[in-house]
Every structure is written in C-alpha cells, then in structure tokens.
C-alpha cells in the first residue's frame, strides 16, 4: 500500500478536527502493535482513536432526535471523501488509496470493538457510488465485508442486538446505526417491547465517561443523497 498522505485537508477536518489527538500513555500501551511504526500507521491509529471517542460520545446522545441524521451524514460524507479530494476531481488511483485506508480503519475498529465505526465504514465502502467504480477488492477485505454483513444482520439488524446482549465490560462500543434502525423497524411493526428493550441497552452509555466535544464533525454535516454521490462517482477522472 502507498504510504502517501491519505486523508485530504477536508478529511482531516472531518475525522481529526484538523489536528492529531493528544494520546494518553494508556492509549499508547493499548495501541502499540510493533516497534517500527510508519507515518501511515500513526495516521491510521489517530483516526481509529478519534472514531472510538466519537462513538462513545454519540452513544450518550442516542435518544436525541438528531441522531439518525447524524448517522446518515457520516456515511454519505465518508463516501464523498473517498470519491474526492478537497472537492476536486481526482484520479482513480487516489480513490483506491482512500478506499484502502478506510478498509484499514474498518479492520482496526473491529480489533478494538468499535462496532459503530465498523458499520459506518462497511456502509460507505459498499455504497452504490463506490460499487460503480468496480474497485478491485483484496481477499482480506472481501472477508471483512462478509463478516460484517453476517454479524450485523441487515435489514433488521437483530443479529447485532442479540450479540450485544452477550457483551460484558465497558470496552466494546455498539453500532448506533444498527440499534437505531432496529428500533425504527420494530416500532413500525408494532413491536414496541422489542424497541424498548433495545433502548434500555443503550441507556447505560449516558452514564459512562464521555465528552460531547469528541463527536467528529463528520456527523454534523448536511447529509448527501445517493444521486449526488453517484454524480461524483461519474465525474471521476479515471485516467
């Protein structure tokens, strides 16, 4: 994989607030995975760490009425970041570089049990706008995508909710996307008790340590629609 700078200036703003986070010694111990880290490795872990903080802060706001819009915004703008670079047309190799970076984010998020970021990356990387480009998928990424598809269990997402009932400890973070859509579908079907049980699972996150300022700007943008993303995909400079 290329080790060139991966996120654009706008990508850094949306995922890193334009700055790398200040890491605690505990965080460093947790994320140490070798002596010889590259700048790419450090950049990747910075993004993963910020995503984890953001997930925890968002989970505490799960009942807020703006949450569904925030979740959708994050998916569409991650897709846009893959397709563009500071809103400029890019070559397909640049898209491939961004695509590979975000699959690596997804893989690391799985390692550290940040299922919201896993789910976010899965949906962005498998969007119709990205699929139209026929990007060659590494075998390990195909396995990662299939694992996510099976474990989240769309379109009802009941598999993730059932899995979450078995989770113990405070290290793991749920997919807010899965919980939000599960509750909406259960409410629509008149299964209000199921929806309420899922809400009760999420209630604990209000009482865990979090900082609302940790929510990434990625979640607060105005969401794009599929037509806008497909248009960006078609404008791609493939030469």
Indicate the length of the chain as a whole number. 239
Domains and CATH numbers, the chain: 9-234 (1.10.840.10)
| Number of helices (H), then strands (E), in the chain | 12, 0
Using the structure block, give the residue that is written with the tokens 């991650």: 78
DSSP assignment letter at 73: H
| Inter-CA distances, 4 with 10, 51, 65, 80, 98, Å | 16, 21, 39, 19, 10
What is the mean pLDDT, run by run of 10 residues, along the chain of 239 residues?
Answer: 66 75 49 61 90 96 96 96 81 88 97 97 96 92 97 95 89 96 96 97 91 94 93 73
Quick check: bond before 155 cis, omega within 30? yes
Claim: this prediction has a pTM higher than 0.75: yes
Answer for the pair 118, 106: CB distance below 8 angstroms, yes or no: yes
């Amino acid at each position: 994989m290329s080790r060139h700078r991966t996120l654009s200036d706008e990508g850094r703003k949306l995922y890193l607030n334009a700055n790398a986070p200040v890491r605690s010694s505990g965080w460093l111990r947790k994320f140490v995975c070798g002596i010889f880290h590259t700048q790419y490795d450090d950049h990747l872990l910075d993004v993963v760490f910020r995503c984890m903080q953001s997930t925890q802060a968002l989970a505490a706001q799960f009942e807020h009425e703006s949450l569904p819009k925030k979740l959708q915004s994050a998916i569409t703008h991650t897709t846009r970041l893959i397709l563009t670079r500071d809103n400029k047309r890019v070559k397909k190799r640049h898209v491939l570089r961004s695509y590979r970076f975000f699959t690596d984010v997804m893989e690391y998020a799985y390692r550290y049990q940040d299922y919201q970021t896993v789910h976010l990356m899965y949906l962005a990387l498998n969007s119709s706008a990205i699929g139209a480009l026929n990007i060659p998928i590494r075998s390990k990424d195909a396995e990662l995508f299939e694992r996510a598809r099976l474990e989240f269990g769309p379109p009802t997402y009941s598999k993730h909710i059932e899995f979450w009932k078995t989770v113990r400890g405070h290290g793991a973070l749920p997919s807010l996307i899965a919980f939000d859509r599960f509750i909406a579908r259960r409410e629509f079907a008149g299964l209000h008790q199921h929806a309420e049980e899922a809400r009760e699972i999420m209630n604990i996150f209000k009482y865990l340590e979090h900082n609302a300022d940790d929510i990434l700007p990625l979640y607060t943008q105005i969401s794009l629609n599929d037509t806008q993303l497909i248009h960006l995909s078609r404008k791609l400079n493939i030469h």
